[in-house]
Chain A
Amino acid sequence: MSRRRSGTLRTTTRSSELCAAALLAALTLLSACAKPNTAALLLQLSPESPAHKANQTRRFETANETELLSASAAVLQDLGFQVSESVRELGFLRAAKERSAREYGQEIARFFIALLSAAGSGSGSNTLMIIPVDLQQQVNASLVTRPLGPERHEVRVLFYRLVWKSGGTSGDQNIPPGEQRMEMIRDPEIYRQFFTRLSKAVFLEAHKI
C-alpha cells in the first residue's frame, strides 16, 4: 500500500469509492437536463386569486363606462402616473411613474451591518459588507373596466413595481449597481386609496365585490 499523506483513518475501499463516483456521475447526467416546468401551474387559479381580486376590484352603479375610464385616468394622473396606453373599446388603461425607492429601514440596516462587519477586519482581511439597498422604482398600473349589466360596471386595477438596487461590497468583492427585481403591490391600503379617489371623481359609491 502506498504511503498516504493525511493521517485520517481510511473508512472506504477503493472500489466502493469508484462505485460512488460512478453513481454520482450518472445522477449528474440525469439531473443536469431536468427543467423545472411550473408553467402548468401558472395558468391556473391559485388559492389567493379571490383575495387578490377582492382587493383590486370595485363595482359602480353606472351605465357610462367612458366616464368611469376617463375618471380613472384622471385619478392616475393625480397620483403622479403617466398614462402610456389606453383602449376605450376594451376599457383598458396602462400607466407608469418613477420614484425614488429609498427606505429609512434599509439605510439604517446597511449602516449597522457595515459598522459591525468593518469591526471584524482587523487582521488584514477585508470583511466589510455594504448591502445593496433599493434605489429607484417604477410603479406601474394596469386598469380594466368591464360592464356587468345595464347599470353596473366593474373596475379592476393592478399595481406592480420594478425596483433597481444600488451597488455594494462583500469583503473584497464589488457588487455592481443595477440589479432589478419586480414585485406585485399587494397592500390593500393602496387599492383602497385609489378607489376612494375614483369614487369621489365619479360621485358614486364604490362597492366591494
Chain B
Amino acid sequence: MRDSGVRWLAILYLALGLFGCATAPPQSTALLLAPTEEQMQLRNLQTRSFDVSDRNQAMRSVIAALQDLGFIIERANEPLGLVTAARFAEPRWFDVVGVTVTVREEGDGKMLVRVNAIYNNQPVTDPKVYQNFFATLERSLFIGRN
C-alpha cells in the first residue's frame, strides 16, 4: 500500500542518514605512538624558523600574537619556552580552538617555533590555519623588534 511504501522509504532514509557518518575502525593501540607519514607532514606544517636570537623576545611576540588573535593565554613557562592558549569560536560558543606553542633555539641566531592547534579535540591538519598564525606571528616579531 502507499502508506507502507512511504514508511519503508522513511526507514531507509533514516538508516542511510545514520550510516552516512560511519568513521574508520579504531587503530590498534600499538600504532598510537608510532611516527607516521601524516605526523611528519603535520610537523612540517606546524614548525617554522625565525631570525630571532633572543628567546624571551620570541616568546613575548608569540604571546602578543595570540592575544591579537583573541586567544586567552592559559599557561606560559619561560624556561621551557612553552605557551598554551585557547579560544572559543564566537558564533558557536561550544567550539574550542587550543594551541600549544614551543619556542626553541636552533643555533645561528634562529628560533624554531612549533604550533600544535586542536579544534574541538581534533588536531588541525589544514595548512592554511598554520600559515595564518605564522603570518600574525611575523607581524608581532617585527613590531617587537622596532
Contact = CB atoms under 8 A, between A and B. Distances in A.
Interface stretch (B13-21, B25-33, B104-112): B13-21
A29 B132 contact: no
Specify which of A40, A94, A140 lies most central, judged by the most chain B CB atoms within 10 Å of its CB. A40
Given A4-B2, A43-B69, A144-B67, A32 B17 contact: yes
B13 A39 contact: no
Contacts of B6: 17, 21
Contact of B73 (A21, A40, A142): A142
Nearest to A145: B60
Contacts of B132: 40, 43-44
A33 B72 contact: no
Contact of B129 (A17, A21, A43): A43
Which of the four size classes fits the interface of chain B?
A: 35 or more
B87 A87 contact: no
B50 interface: no
B11 to A, nearest CB: 11
Given A38-B95, A92-B63, A144-B63, A45 B2 contact: no
Interface of A: 2, 4-5, 14, 17-18, 21, 24-25, 28-33, 37-40, 42-46, 49, 52-53, 56, 85, 87, 89-92, 94, 140, 142, 144, 146-147, 156, 158, 160, 181-184
Interface of B: 1-3, 5-6, 9, 12-13, 16-17, 20-21, 56, 59-60, 63-64, 67-70, 72-78, 87-91, 93, 95, 97, 117, 119, 124, 126, 128-130, 132-133, 136, 144
Given A37-B119, A43-B133, 20 more contacts: A14-B2, A21-B13, A25-B16, A25-B17, A31-B20, A32-B17, A32-B20, A40-B128, A42-B89, A44-B69, A53-B67, A85-B75, A87-B76, A87-B77, A90-B76, A94-B73, A144-B64, A181-B93, A183-B93, A184-B90
